[in-house]
Structure 1
Amino acid sequence: MKLETLAVHAGNHPDSATGAVTSPIHLSTTFLRDDDLGYSKGFMYTRHNNPNRQQLETCLAALEGGEAALAFGSGSAAAFAVFQALQPGDHIIAPDDMYHGLRTQLRQIFVELKMWVTFVDFNEIEDHIRPNTRLIWMETPSNPLMKITNIERVVQLAKQHNIITAVDNTFATPCIQRPLDMGVDLVMHSITKYINGHSDVLGGVVITKKNDDFFGRIKMVQILAGGVPSPFDCYLTLRGIKTLPYRMKGHCENAMALAKFLEQHPKVEKVYYPGLASHPDHEIAVKQMSNGFGGMLSFEVKGGAEEAVNVAISTQFFTQATSLGGVESLIEHRASQEGPDTKTPQNLLRVSVGLEHIDDLIADIDQALWK
């Protein structure tokens, strides 16, 4: 099946009891035990599994081309489970530009648990591999500087050293980039973002190329820690996925048009968008992002933090808010969100380009830049 068909049908089936085309929400926390003490219907307790979560995991595994998926209550919980499946003394290589919440996890929690973490420029990754390196965590495009990692190059290097590879594919989605097809072991998404796409669900997922022992450890963390999404959140996410391929086409088209406009604007110092020929990693992006370059971009306003914030608060159709991936456009002064240790330029604004008409979005940004 093509991706558009998978998005509609994978994991979905008419209800066997009623024939309902849309699967019902199973809110029960516990399930009937058989007289022989087994669970022939496959469900025992909703922390272990739930019909709605099983449907969601089946769908997400199919979209990314993996053998299995595990859904979590947030993207942060999903990544946390991957890190927690490692052992004390293991070494993690992570990008120097990445989502600040996961960077904070690694720095403030996992380093305290006797793990080693190195944040590196992936162009120099060979210099940072150690005998105890167990995981290479990629985020491409990166948040918020839109850096592109050459996935196949990292995978080739990792296989030489028997290192697990993982990609945070939140910005790209499987509609644009499929890391498992490039040899990556694990893919993570914050399904809060594009996967659900309507800014009304918190969730995360880890998808594996092979259902191996390490993925079994991640599943153990999911079950024992219990950081799972609710049945209603799974239901909403499945509903959102049905339109994902078509939403992403609109996000990509709008983001490209806005990036080109901003690149020529006299009030803009720099634009970060991998679809632009001026992006330093554009050729790599063209190779591994097969159906567009995503709906996220960042740009630097001429001036400093005050000028950038003034643009953010002067927009009408861009809502000043954190998060991303919804149908509505969002704008954010990223450095103030990341805190005092941020390396993000103070004049940078991160934009989640929504599905409004592009003429309205361009006009809105233009008038805000001139205020």
Structure 2
Amino acid sequence: MRFETTCIHGGYQPDATGSVTVPIYVSTAFAHPEVGQSTGYDYSRSQNPTREQLEKTLAALEEGCDALAFTSGMAAIACVLELFKPGDHIIYSADLYGGSIRLFNEISQKNGISFSALDTGDLHAVKAAIQTQTKAIYIETPSNPTMQITDIKSLCELAHKYHLLVIVDNTFLTPYFQKPLTLGADIVIHSGTKYLAGHNDVLAGFIITAHKEQADRLHFLHKTIGACLSPFDCWIVSRGLKTLPLRMDRHAASALRIAKWLSKQPKIRKVYYPGLVSSPRQEINSKQTTGFGGMISFEVDSEDTAIQLLKQLKLILFAESLGGTESLITYPLLQTHCDIPKEECAAKGINERLLRLSVGLENVNDLIADLKQGLR
């Protein structure tokens, strides 16, 4: 099946009732036919039919061997980190979602895992950072919030020479625009709360893996830790997936128009959007993606302008999430990266003038009009 068809059907066939949508199985336990036999479902934390269908769909969309659904993106990341043990070392993209960095610094380091943050788009820097204890490289591309690009295929070729796992957070682009596993990555992570569900109404996270051995270990961790997505929330995400291609095309088309418009405004000092020809590593990004997504970051001329814009916007909502039908604008320094030291943020370009915009599905002319009046 092609991508759009998989989003809608996901291999699901109507059951005996003829239900055209996946049923919501709320049962926590499933009866055994007899001793030593199982229907394939025993206890919903181990597996649930509604969750299983969603996981199969995500695995097919990312072209992986298996997928697991979690209660949030952070729960998914935390589970992946349980693949490692005290003494292991992980390299990660310096420009990364602040919640991921918080998890690394406050939880994983306490548990004996060490980290090095650098520009993972610089392969020479990555190679120089590899240690005897290094076990993985963790990246976002485009990164959050300054849209830094990493060449996934080249990074994977380097990493695999040293027997390292490559883990890619693919939240911003989704498998519709980028498929890291087909470029050599070992594990893909999503905050399903964002574009996959797409309506700002559910928390979810996903892991998709390329290898059965990893999948088996992750399933063990999944049921042991227990942060499994509920049947109803799985159904909500499944419903959102049905329109993923349509939504992503609209997000991306509107974002490109807005990024070009912002680039011409006198109060805008810099625009971060991978679809602009002036974007760093734009050629590499174009080779590994089929679209540029709906996320834009931009730097205004002063802190006062940033605060005034956030106050004056009427249609675009000042809120911390992304990837939904509604356009949302975020102040990274005080929201997504509030737990990162200010000097560290400044080194990444995250300052009091930087804003991040998640372009929704509203009419793009209305969004530009709102930004225009807010920048007056």
The TM-score normalised by the length of structure 1 is 0.97
Q: Quick one: which amino acid aligns to residue 241 of structure 2?
A: I
Question: Which residue of 339, 346, 363 maps to 2:352?
Answer: 346
> What is residue 209 of structure 1 aligned with on the other side?
210
Q: Quick one: which amino acid aligns to residue 292 of structure 2?
A: F
Q: Structure 1: how far apart are the matches of 2:228 and 2:259?
A: 37
- Alignment length, in residue pairs? 365
> Does the alignment pair 1:231 with 2:231?
yes
Q: Which moved more, 1:201-210 or 1:4-13?
A: 4-13
Unaligned runs of 5+ in 1: none
> What is residue 278 of structure 1 aligned with on the other side?
278
Q: Say whether the 8 Å CA contact 1:270–1:301 is kept in structure 2.
A: yes
Q: Say whether the 8 Å CA contact 1:312–1:349 is kept in structure 2.
A: no
> What is residue 36 of structure 1 aligned with on the other side?
35
Q: Quick one: which amino acid aligns to residue 317 of structure 2?
A: T
CA deviation string 1:301-335 (max 9, x = no partner): 1112x321211221111011001000110011111
Residue 36 of structure 1: CA displacement? 2.2
> What is residue 159 of structure 1 aligned with on the other side?
160
Q: Say whether the 8 Å CA contact 1:315–1:365 is kept in structure 2.
A: yes
Could you list the runs of 4 or more consecutive aligned residues of structure 1 that deviate by over 3 angstroms after TM superposition?
A: none
Q: How does 1:309-324 map to 2 (within 5 A)?
A: 309-324=307-322
Q: Structure 1: how far apart are the matches of 2:178 and 2:360?
A: 19
> What is residue 55 of structure 2 aligned with on the other side?
57
CA deviation string 1:140-162 (max 9, x = no partner): 11001111111111101001100
> What is residue 95 of structure 2 aligned with on the other side?
97
Q: Structure 2: how far apart are the matches of 1:302 and 1:26?
A: 53
> What is residue 72 of structure 2 aligned with on the other side?
74
Q: Quick one: which amino acid aligns to residue 224 of structure 2?
A: L
Aligned to 2:92, the other structure's residue is in SS state strand
Q: Structure 1: how far apart are the matches of 2:119 and 2:246?
A: 34
The TM-score normalised by the length of structure 2 is 0.95
Aligned to 2:229, the other structure's residue is in SS state coil
Residue 216 of structure 1: CA displacement? 2.3
Q: Structure 1: how far apart are the matches of 2:47 and 2:309?
A: 46
Q: Say whether the 8 Å CA contact 2:98–2:338 is kept in structure 1.
A: no
Aligned CA RMSD, in angstroms, stands at: 1.0
Residue 229 of structure 1: CA displacement? 0.7
Q: Structure 2: how far apart are the matches of 1:140 and 1:172?
A: 9
Residue 11 of structure 1: CA displacement? 4.1
Q: Structure 1: how far apart are the matches of 2:281 and 2:310?
A: 27
Q: How does 1:128-139 map to 2 (within 5 A)?
A: 128-139=129-140
Aligned to 2:212, the other structure's residue is in SS state coil
Residue 12 of structure 1: CA displacement? 2.5
Q: Which moved more, 1:277-286 or 1:134-143?
A: 277-286
Residue 220 of structure 1: CA displacement? 1.5
Unaligned runs of 5+ in 2: none
Q: Say whether the 8 Å CA contact 1:98–1:142 is kept in structure 2.
A: yes
The percent identity for this pair of structures is 44
Q: Say whether the 8 Å CA contact 1:252–1:294 is kept in structure 2.
A: yes
Q: Structure 1: how far apart are the matches of 2:41 and 2:284?
A: 44
Aligned to 2:176, the other structure's residue is in SS state coil
Q: Quick one: which amino acid aligns to residue 265 of structure 1?
A: Q
Q: How does 1:136-215 map to 2 (within 5 A)?
A: 136-212=137-213, 214-215=214-215
> What is residue 9 of structure 1 aligned with on the other side?
9
Residue 102 of structure 1: CA displacement? 0.8
Q: Quick one: which amino acid aligns to residue 238 of structure 2?
A: L
> What is residue 296 of structure 2 aligned with on the other side?
297
Aligned to 1:237, the other structure's residue is in SS state helix
Q: Say whether the 8 Å CA contact 2:272–2:297 is kept in structure 1.
A: yes
Q: Say whether the 8 Å CA contact 1:11–1:56 is kept in structure 2.
A: no
CA deviation string 1:70-125 (max 9, x = no partner): 11111001011111111111111111000110111011111111111111112121
Q: Quick one: which amino acid aligns to residue 234 of structure 2?
A: C
Q: Structure 2: how far apart are the matches of 1:189 and 1:48?
A: 20
Q: Say whether the 8 Å CA contact 2:318–2:328 is kept in structure 1.
A: yes
Residue 46 of structure 1: CA displacement? 0.4
Q: Say whether the 8 Å CA contact 1:15–1:22 is kept in structure 2.
A: no
